[in-house]
Structure 1
Amino acid sequence: MTKEVGFYFTVPSAEKVPDEYDDTVHEMNDFCRNIAKQLGETDFTRKQSLQQLREWIAKHPHIKRCRTDAPFLLRFLRTKKYSFINTAKTLESYLTAKSKHREWFNNLDIDDPPIADLVNASYLFPLPRLDSEGRAVFFSCSSGFNPNKNTIISAIKTICMMGEIYYETQEISCAGCVWIFDMENIDMNVLGMLTIQDIRTLADIVNTAAAARIRELHFINTPAVSRAIANLVLQLMSEKIRNRVFCHSSLEDLHSKVDKSMLPKEFGGEIPASEMAANYKVLCKKMRKRLLGLDELEIELTSNQNDIWTNGSGKLDDGAIGSFRKLQVD
């Protein structure tokens, strides 16, 4: 559990037009308030944008159920810097992804054994405090994923659960987050669990539906085969995300970018990964009902939306696909 972050634990309504709109948010500190201002937020724009977005949701013919509480909608508005059109597109894409791929994005339940196994094994956890720029830092240990026991679906859900817990807090919806992935044990036994279509679809969802201010992505201990696959995946990502990726050749290199004292003890820090993961599990338990409430969100899938999420807007050229197939065979 990250200190200095104000989490929400109640379960908001999923009625697209509730009897009363929920504007309850935690008080922002001066640091977050300043960042929000840089994102285009004032008391007036926040109130006006929430009203416009709620009216758009109410009139949307295909949205059946959607949260309209302020923390949820501010997450989208801040990510898109208060551009109404871009915010609406991202929210629609988010709902479409959840409805189209329920196996990835629903039932984010810490009591579900496959997810609990990954959290218990320290596969993914937040670092205990915000970094110097006020961002949450999430750490993934590849040693926590066992391809003979765990599944890619469970890994995706575990990552999504982290985002849903943090992304709508005042601190993270303003300052954003940093992800660190230790890739040491990610070999072809793991990579072979993903299909080309899975990769294309996930990349498209990250590009169009991830309502998150992802500031940096760090990779450490990356085997050669994983680097090759990563290069293919990066072709599908937006330029903004590609410019925020850092691949480190050593722990010392990572320490030059990330405060060493924050990291797990196994990576040069002070607190063991198992202790960080145990604290995170407590938070997941507190958030369980709120997370399960997200399963109620629903948008009617039209033929156009089905085409988007089946084919993906990202493209790999024939040479890249050929390279990936060659790696699978090798």
Structure 2
Amino acid sequence: MVGEYVCTLSEELQKRAKEEINEDPERRAEDIQHIRDWLKHQPHIKARTDDWTILRFLRGCKFSLQRTKEKLDMFYTCKSLCPEWYKNRDPQDKKMRAILELGGMLPLKGRSVRGARVVVARLGLPAAVNFTMDELTKVNQLMIDLLMEEDEAVSVTGLEIIIDIEGMTLTHVAQMTPVFVKKAMTMMQEGYPMRPKGLNYINTPAAFDTVFNIFKTFMKEKMKRRTHFHGSDLDSLHKEVPKEVLPVEYGGTNGTIEDIKKYWLQRVDARRDWLIEDEQYGVDESKRPGKAKTSADLFGIEGSFRKLNVD
């Protein structure tokens, strides 16, 4: 979607947007313009200013103009402070392609019992050991960006993520340092307008408790309440995400992982120009009014780390 916003939501989702996130169709254009004018007066932020991008942030902040401004600033700040995740995202790049072809992060068609769009993240794929967590995270973020850009409903319904830990190696667990986890959680909770509705962990080994305790330290209370552990019990998962949404590998009826992977490889290729162009947006801290922000400001763990309980 480029330029002027054209609504593609069903009547049901338009009603939900009014009730849940304070969207007023009569005021929407005015709110979008207000944020666009504000962005023009931020010398440090280079942002997308099309209607759809701004609307996505307004929805993610329930149309609070102040929160929208804060989230946009945080989003573009995180992008610039995490070049390892947001630079060189050409899907035709050899290494990027190899990771994309693993199918480690796949949005599914259909919705959870809460009406959210569902994404499955397979963190323990055997071939994933050939790449660093930063390289894998770059592709995971790319897939989330693409889904949010292409499916308007996500901006209203939110996202639910299934995290499959099966096969995850100590090599990757060791890279999930408190700093890495803080960075990931800050980006997703403070920077993205994504309305997370649930985290469903499956196939979790006992050793994962240690890693999850680090994640939990940086999770908002609301997110902790929306976290579910299913072990290897697919019946338990099906109570949160219906079988008709899941691929056959997870006891579902919604195609195979291979089918879903092929579909998303096509979408990534179709949006290659958008992904490459997207790298130019971010912040220039030398132009920020007041004090420049640093990685230590956003992702430093002093204080937080003392609260960790990793027994």
> What's the counterpart of residue 178 of structure 2?
196
> What's the counterpart of residue 280 of structure 2?
296
Asked whether the 8 Å contact 1:260–1:268 carries over to 2, the reply is yes
> What's the counterpart of residue 37 of structure 1?
18
Task: Between 177-186 and 88-97, report the one with greater CA deviation.
Answer: 177-186
Structure 2: distance between partners of 1:167 and 1:146: 27
Asked whether the 8 Å contact 1:261–1:268 carries over to 2, the reply is no
Shift of 1:133: 5.0
> What's the counterpart of residue 142 of structure 1?
123
Structure 2: distance between partners of 1:131 and 1:258: 5
Any unmatched runs of 5+ in structure 2?
none
Equivalent of residue 89 in structure 1, options 70, 81, 85: 70
Structure 2: distance between partners of 1:313 and 1:243: 25
> What's the counterpart of residue 282 of structure 1?
266
Shift of 1:110: 2.1
Tell me the secondary structure at the aligned position of residue 25 of structure 1. coil
Asked whether the 8 Å contact 2:112–2:160 carries over to 1, the reply is no
Shift of 1:201: 2.1
Structure 2: distance between partners of 1:23 and 1:246: 39
Any unmatched runs of 5+ in structure 1?
1-7, 13-21, 325-330
Kindly tell me: are residues 88 and 125 of structure 1, through their superposed partners in 2, closer, same or farther at Cα, counting changes over 3 Å?
A: same
Asked whether the 8 Å contact 1:200–1:314 carries over to 2, the reply is no
Residues 189-268 of structure 1 aligned to structure 2 (within 5 Å): 189-249=171-231, 250-268=233-251
Residues 92-107 of structure 1 aligned to structure 2 (within 5 Å): 92-107=73-88
TM-score under structure 2 length normalisation: 0.89
Tell me the secondary structure at the aligned position of residue 170 of structure 1. coil
Tell me the secondary structure at the aligned position of residue 192 of structure 1. helix
Shift of 1:145: 5.2
Shift of 1:202: 2.0
List per-residue Cα deviations over 1:114-164 (Å, max 9, x = no partner).
Answer: 332233222121213344654321112234353541221221112111211
Tell me the secondary structure at the aligned position of residue 127 of structure 1. strand
Shift of 1:35: 1.8
Tell me: higher relative CO, structure 1 or 2? Use CA pairs within 8 A at least 6 residues apart.
1
Shift of 1:185: 1.3
Kindly tell me: are residues 314 and 186 of structure 1, through their superposed partners in 2, closer, same or farther at Cα, counting changes over 3 Å?
A: farther
TM-score under structure 1 length normalisation: 0.85
Tell me the secondary structure at the aligned position of residue 207 of structure 2. helix
Residues 16-35 of structure 1 aligned to structure 2 (within 5 Å): 22-35=3-16
Asked whether the 8 Å contact 2:90–2:275 carries over to 1, the reply is yes
Structure 2: distance between partners of 1:27 and 1:134: 17
Equivalent of residue 159 in structure 2, options 154, 159, 177: 177
Tell me the secondary structure at the aligned position of residue 153 of structure 2. helix
Kindly tell me: are residues 319 and 75 of structure 1, through their superposed partners in 2, closer, same or farther at Cα, counting changes over 3 Å?
A: closer
Task: Between 86-95 and 189-198, report the one with greater CA deviation.
Answer: 189-198
Asked whether the 8 Å contact 2:213–2:308 carries over to 1, the reply is no
Shift of 1:37: 0.8
Kindly tell me: are residues 262 and 207 of structure 1, through their superposed partners in 2, closer, same or farther at Cα, counting changes over 3 Å?
A: closer
Equivalent of residue 308 in structure 1, options 297, 308, 311: 297
Asked whether the 8 Å contact 1:35–1:174 carries over to 2, the reply is yes
Shift of 1:78: 0.4
Kindly tell me: are residues 232 and 124 of structure 1, through their superposed partners in 2, closer, same or farther at Cα, counting changes over 3 Å?
A: same
Asked whether the 8 Å contact 1:200–1:315 carries over to 2, the reply is no
- Taking only the aligned residue pairs, the percentage that are identical comes to 24
